[in-house]
Amino acid sequence: MHVWWVDLRTESPEPYLAGLDDAERARASRLRSPEAYRAFVVTRVVLRRLLAAYLGLTSRVDLHYGPQGKPSLVGDPLLAFNVSHAQTRAVLAFRRHGRVGVDVEEVRATLAAPRIAERFFAPAENAALRALPGDQWQAGFFRCWTRKEAFIKAVGDGLSHDLRSFAVSVDPTQPATLSSDDDANWHLVDLEAGEGHTAALAVSGSATPPVLRLFHWPGAGGGGHNVPDRFGDS
């Protein structure tokens, strides 16, 4: 597994605009928030550059979007990937074979969090949240959310997947675990996302937890020149 982090605070969207296709430019133009605009433009082009580097291509990689908006690569189905971004950072995950999902969120106080938990979290997750000390509730909520989001993104169903049909561990001090009727071998892994953020990764088809290699995207114009040329056995 290769996991790439992008610090969106250091990136300007302008150098990346030429790397978008027409549909993506139209989508970007509808984003009113400057932070959302920057995150979408930069992350989508970084994804294309990394895919091209992994595949040894010099031309722009074309992406196919599924019914839930998940991008996929038509030309190399054995290269799985997923991407997520918050306000100031993005994370991209790549692997050979199997499925992968990743999610990063900014940890912030929100009055809607208890209602979200009651509506979308499984009964066991809500019970576990209520059992947490008060000063850990917010961290537990976002751990639960990112773990669940990473799993449904790996499955590929997006938010059409019943979030109450499976349960993840909630305690922010304990490793991530998953309880699901899916017969694949699934692993959940918490990622170190930096101060003020939390992130999780879900992978299928492995009897053992994934071996992660972490990378950081260079500044604008870096072009992904330091992309490893192989995954090895990880």
Q: Report whether 228 contacts 213 (CB < 8 A).
A: yes
Torsion of CA 31, 34, 36, 42, to 10 degrees: 110
Q: Report whether 140 contacts 171 (CB < 8 A).
A: yes
The one-character DSSP state at 148 is H
Cα 157 to Cα 66: distance, rounded to the nearest angstrom: 9
* Beta strands at 213-216 and 2-7: parallel, antiparallel or unpaired: parallel
Q: Where are the domains of the chain?
A: 2-216
**How confident is the prediction along the chain (234 residues), in pLDDT tens digits per residue?**
899 999 999 999 999 999 998 989 999 999 999 999 999 999 999 999 999 888 888 887 888 877 767 778 876 667 899 999 998 999 999 998 888 999 999 998 888 999 999 999 999 999 999 999 999 999 999 999 999 999 999 988 665 678 888 999 999 999 999 987 766 688 999 999 998 999 999 999 877 888 899 999 974 444 444 666 556 544
pTM: 0.89
State the CATH architecture for 2-216: Alpha-Beta Complex (3.90)
